[in-house]
Structure 1
């Protein structure tokens, strides 16, 4: 029997409360990277539920925090901090979308070991937390999920990471919005079927 989205979201709350999940037990001591896939048209439902889980957990006494990172918000904040956001708008008008995508990717060092997005997440991830990554759909095609996952694997190795993905994940391949296939293999577990 296939679970509804609401049932799957309920199950996430159950799973992340388990100490074995937060301590990555049963995964061969490998850091837990998980993907929660959902229909893209349910984005607002998922966003609301993530915020509910985060707020509910703020007052929890079981010793862990939910830390939510929206990749789109991180990109905008980095560009603003560098004074590049308005310049990006002008650059896109003059040179086109493909050129600005490449320029922003270079500015953020998306594919390098010292990616500004990955550093942002690493620097703001406390011990005893569960990281939720959101905003994948809002960032396409500027940022690809495999780039973030691959780079995070290198620097976050003590807390579980859950990527909320607006598309489909079959345990190996991701298909964004149910249409755009990402030709990369992932070492991530599907969180809830």
Structure 2
């Protein structure tokens, strides 16, 4: 599915209906070559702007998962310092320990709830727009701390399939039943997400 075809699909009345599609799994994955990462980030913002026009009247939430993780670490306090500041300091002295700590935090229920709270705050906005989409990107920047399938699995208990669809932008491709992050790193099976391909 090309970028233009994806935008047309996002604008289609059937897909805009948050209750359409699989009633149990509202996860969708759009794959693109890792070499197009910066262009894809720009394209996601363009999708958001175009969807806000009166023809669609959609306010899509865009989450850069890595930025959200950094914000989460900044909010986690240890005395007078944040976990983010502690990470910067510790990385110079004990990089292996920092990797272990970041992996633990990224996979924690506290972080998944932090993501959930951002989505809920967006859904609660009284701005008159429809809100059928949550666009998530930055999953590549979360490697090796958090894998795609782990994030989607852990978010499931907070997920409300009747209110929105999560569209995850993935820099890589599918190989059999598994995905390849950056086209080189095995990323396990990506849960039960629906791959957005040409219909």
TM-score relative to the length of structure 2: 0.81
**Which structure 1 residue ranges, 4+ long, deviate > 6 Å from structure 2?**
none
- In structure 1, the partner of 2:53 is 59
What are structure 2's unaligned runs of at least 5 residues? 77-81, 124-129
Distance 1:171 1:136 in 2: 20
RMSD: 2.4
Q: Counterparts of 2:40 and 2:4 in 1: how far apart (Å)?
A: 11
Structure 1 residues 189 and 107, CA, compared in 2 at 3 Å: closer, same or farther? closer
CA distance in 2, matches of 1:119, 1:163: 15
Does residue 13 of structure 1 match 2:13? no
Q: Which deviates more, 23-32 or 50-59?
A: 23-32
* 1:109-146 deviation digits (Å, cap 9, x = unpaired): x2438724433443334173201110011121122111
State the Cα distance separating 1:59 from its structure 2 match: 3.1
Is 1:107 aligned to 2:120, yes or no? no
1:182 alignment partner in structure 2: 187
Task: Name the structure 2 match of 1:147.
Answer: 150
Give the unaligned 5+ runs of structure 1: none
**Do residues 118 (structure 1) and 121 (structure 2) align?**
no
Please report how far the alpha carbon of residue 62 of structure 1 lies from its aligned counterpart in structure 2 after TM superposition. Answer: 3.1
Number of residue pairs matched?
185
**1:69 alignment partner, SS class:** strand
CA pair 164-43 structure 1, distance change in 2 beyond 3 A: same
TM-score, with length taken from structure 1: 0.83
Cα separation, 2, equivalents of 1:13 and 1:170: 25
Distance 1:171 1:32, change over 3 A: farther
2:109 match: secondary structure: coil
Q: Distance in 2 between matches of 1:114 and 1:87?
A: 17
Instruction: Verify the 8 A CA contact 1:175 1:181 in the aligned structure 2.
Output: yes
- In 1, the alpha carbon distance for the partners of 2:7 and 2:113 equals 30
Partner of 1:88: 87
8 Å CA contact 1:37–1:167 kept in 2: the answer is: yes
* Pair 1:170–1:154, CA change in 2 (3 A): farther
CA contact (8 A) 2:149 2:191 kept: yes
